[in-house]
Amino acid sequence: MSSSFVELNNVTLRYSEGDDLALDTTDMKIRKGEFIAVVGPSGCGKSSLLKLVSGLMPPSNGTVIVDAKEVAGPLKIVGMAFQNPTLLPWRTTLDNVLLPLEIVKPHRNRLRKHKQEYIERARDLLATVGLAGHENKYPWELSGGMQQRASLCRALIHEPDLLMLDEPFGALDAFTREELWDILQNLWLKRPFTVILVTHDLREAAYLADTVYVMSKRPGKILVARDNTLPRPRDQETTFTQPFTDLVHELRSHIRDVRAA
């Protein structure tokens, strides 16, 4: 089916008049329930792309369409983990994770009554990412990687239809990171939502995504959209298979070309 959930048509972005383009004629089509990854050199416009799709910024040109409507302002169906954890310093970790429930319908109306239930849910989520016992700490009492994990929980808690992750595992050690890959994959397999993942880790992209987009250096532009048909669920074993390694190597060479260009 070609009906796409997220669609970018000829989108360009310029941060301010007179500036260079940050994003150049970008076209994308993402199916409902698709898991895509975006890779590209630093500063090429990946974070900007996420902001466009989520409606935090308007494009300078072209249109962004999500769920068949042109995006005109921030969307209500998004869960977003920013590149910096951006936890609110006056809230405990638990309260930070609960934040989306206070905003997003239908949870905001149910929160009062089902407070305990939601708190349980948040605690469980925090426990899956290894933050059990840190719920009542303030963000500034957490290490960098712990903050990042809390921020991931915040993006997930309200089960958004569109999940945007901007390098969500960047500050984590390899093992924690791979554990979280599996957790994310399982969530997604259980209840397919649409995911846009920005990452520098090509193995991560190959492990998680249905399609990997490779962007050129600044001004960013989609150069390659590589389908990844490795069977699901993927696991440790998958990473040792030849197709996986080949995919990673292919992506790697794309990026090398991009940077050399």
Partner 1 sequence: MTKRSLQSRATPWISAIVLFLLWEGIVRLFHIPDYVLPTPSASLEAAWKFRSAIWMHAAQTLYTTLFGFAIAVVFGVFLGALVGSSRAIYNAANPLLVGFNSVPKVALVPVLVMWFGIGTVPAVITAFIISFFPIVVNVATGLATLEPELRDVLRSLGATRTDILVKVGFPRALPYFFASLKVAITLAFVGSVISETVASNVGVGYLMLSASSKFNMPLVFAGLLVIAAMGIIMYEFFNIVERRSTRWANRANPTG
Ligand X SMILES: Nc1ncnc2c1ncn2[C@@H]1O[C@H](COP(=O)(O)OP(=O)(O)OP(=O)(O)O)[C@@H](O)[C@H]1O
Q: How near is the Cβ of 251 to Mg ion at its closest, in Å?
A: 18
Q: Which among its own copies, partner 1, Mg ion, none contacts residue 27 (Cβ within 5 to 8 A by kind)?
A: none
258 near ligand X, rule: CB under 6 A: no
Site map 28..57 versus ligand X, x via CB under 6 A: --------------xxxxxxx---------
Among 70, 117, 124, 141, binds its own copies (CB under 8 A): 141
100 near its own copies, rule: CB under 8 A: no
Going by C-alpha positions, the residue among 135, 114, 113 that lies closest to residue 124 is 135
Among 56, 171, 183, 225, binds its own copies (CB under 8 A): 171
40 near its own copies, rule: CB under 8 A: yes
86 near partner 1, rule: CB under 8 A: yes
Q: Which among Mg ion, partner 1, its own copies, none contacts residue 234 (Cβ within 5 to 8 A by kind)?
A: none
Q: How near is the Cβ of 78 to its own copies at its closest, in Å?
A: 19
132 near its own copies, rule: CB under 8 A: no
Q: Which two tokens stand for residue 46?
A: 């990946």
Binding to Mg ion, residues 19-58 (CB under 5 A): 47
Q: How near is the Cβ of 79 to its own copies at its closest, in Å?
A: 19
144 near Mg ion, rule: CB under 5 A: yes
Distance CA 218, CA 50 (A): 16
175 near partner 1, rule: CB under 8 A: no
Return the amino acid letter for 163: L
Among 6, 8, 11, 22, binds ligand X (CB under 6 A): 22
79/85 with CB nearer ligand X = 85
80 near partner 1, rule: CB under 8 A: yes
40/100 with CB nearer its own copies = 40
User: In sequence order, what DSSP letters do the residues of the chain get, joined into one string?
Assistant: ---EEEEEEEEEEESSTTSPEEEEEEEEEEETT-EEEEE--TTSSHHHHHHHHHTSS--SEEEEEETTEE--S--SSEEEE-SS----TTS-HHHHHHHHHHHSTTHHHHTTTTHHHHHHHHHHHHHHTT-TT-TTS-GGGS-HHHHHHHHHHHHHTT--SEEEEESTTTTS-HHHHHHHHHHHHHHHHHS--EEEEE-S-HHHHHHH-SEEEEEPSSSB-EEEEEE----SS--HHHHHSHHHHHHHHHHHHHHHHHHH-
Question: Cα torsion for 156, 162, 167, 171, to the nearest 10°?
Answer: 0
Q: How near is the Cβ of 68 to ligand X at its closest, in Å?
A: 26
The footprint of its own copies (CB under 8 A) covers 15, 39-48, 83-84, 130, 141-146, 149, 166-167, 170-177, 200, 202, 252, 255-256, 259
